Each structure stands twice: as structure tokens, then as C-alpha cells.
Amino acid sequence: MPQRLPLFPLHTVLFPGALLPLHIFEPRYRSLLADVAVNDPRFGILPPGEDGGLPAPGAIGCVARIRGMQPLPDGRSNIVVSGERRFRYLGPAATDSPYGQGLVELVDDIPDIQIPNHADTARLHALAIRYAAALESRNDQSLERTFSTDPAVLSFEAAALLEWDFDDLQRMLECRSASERVARLLHALPALVQAAEQHALIHGRAKQNGHGALR
């Protein structure tokens, strides 16, 4: 059944189960934040249209739930949201608010004929752990991530790590087959993990002696 949702068109993909930090500075989205903070702490993140506003009906986005908020003195805010379920944007809803609102329907995966097998899921789980560790080492972070053993959930957790361009990440969000997402990730991640681990090693050496080089 369609539901009404405040909408934030953004050139960033939010995946179900992932955390995303956002810096809110535009007046219209300050207003959105003020409204959802005192009511339902959820809004929708979806790809922007050509003019930066709402896209054409049919676009796939993700429900964002506010998990943390840091108001700044000048009215801006830093927030952290978590991704919940995906939705299909059906069209704009009449509103007098400065930000867009729309009618959406929640969407889930279509049941797979071929469920990802245990070996593929275990391999993806191991690759995701290695990739996350390499990225955190390269970026001097320690986030203590955990990953699900459910292939559908794991595929989104792993996809959220990818440093792909927007269109590729959006296609991953739109994919409604867990087995297809797992297959795409197993194809892409081995090379990405190797590169990330090399860069993390160089970064570690550079911190110790001021320089590093690929071998």
C-alpha cells in the first residue's frame, strides 16, 4: 500500500542495513530534519532528477532512519542515518513544505529460484571482512564492523563498502535478486580487496618512515 514519505534527492546511495553520515546545510533540508526529528525519524533517499529535484516516478530509493544528530551553531547539522527497506517512488505528494514529499511503495527482493549456496556466502563474508579491514586501515579508522551470514543482508553490507560510481551503486540497490548481487560482488571483490590491502600496506609503511611504494 502506498505511503507518504519526506524525500531527500541525493547523489549518494544508501543501502539497507548500512550507516551513512550526512551534512545538512540547505534550508529546505534543515526544515525536513526539524520535522522528522519531532515526528517519525524517517525520510527517503533517492536519486535526484535532472534538475536536482525529485526524479521521475519509478526510481528506487531507500528509507533512512536518523540514528544520531549533531546540531551546529549556524543551523547546519551532522547526522547519521541507517538504511531500512527499499522503496519505489510513485510520484509527488501535495505539500506546502519547502522540501519534496512523495508517495512510495516498499519493495523487497523477488524470491530467487537459485538461492546463494553456503560456500558462496562464506566466501563473500570473508572478502567483506578483508575489504572493510583494508579500507579502515587505509583511512586510519577502526569501526569494528560485523557482517551478517544471511546472503541478502550480507550483499547489501558488502555493497555499501564499494567505492564505485553512483550509477553502479544505484544498479546494485535496484537489483532484487540476492543471488545476483552475491554473484556480482564475488566477481568484483577479489581484485578490489587485493588493491585495498596493497594501499593499506603502503599507508602503514608511509606512517612509519614517510614514504612507501608499490611492489
41's CB contacts (< 8 A; 6+ apart) are 65, 66
> Beta-strand (E) ranges in 17-76?
19-24, 42-46, 60-71
Alpha carbon distance 123, 120 (integer Å) = 5
Alpha carbon distance 148, 131 (integer Å) = 15
In the prediction, which pLDDT does 183 show? 95
In the prediction, which pLDDT does 91 show? 97
Q: How confident is the model at residue 146 (pLDDT cuts 50, 70, 90)?
A: confident
Alpha carbon distance 64, 85 (integer Å) = 8
In the prediction, which pLDDT does 206 show? 75
Residue ranges of the chain assigned to CATH 2.30.130.40: 3-107
In one letter, which amino acid is 81?
V
In the prediction, which pLDDT does 81 show? 96
In the prediction, which pLDDT does 142 show? 73
In the prediction, which pLDDT does 215 show? 45
In the prediction, which pLDDT does 103 show? 98
**Length of the chain in residues, anyone?**
215
For residue 141, is pLDDT > 80? no
pLDDT tens digits, 151-200: 999 999 999 999 999 999 999 999 999 999 999 999 999 999 999 999 88
Average pLDDT over residues 41-58: 94
In the prediction, which pLDDT does 139 show? 82
Please check whether residue 103 is in contact with residue 166, taking contact to mean a CB–CB distance below 8 angstroms: no
How many C-beta atoms surround the C-beta of residue 104 within 10 A? 25
The CATH-assigned architecture of domain 3-107 is Roll (2.30)
In the prediction, which pLDDT does 211 show? 52
In the prediction, which pLDDT does 38 show? 86
pLDDT above 90 as % of the chain: 77
In the prediction, which pLDDT does 128 show? 96
In the prediction, which pLDDT does 33 show? 93
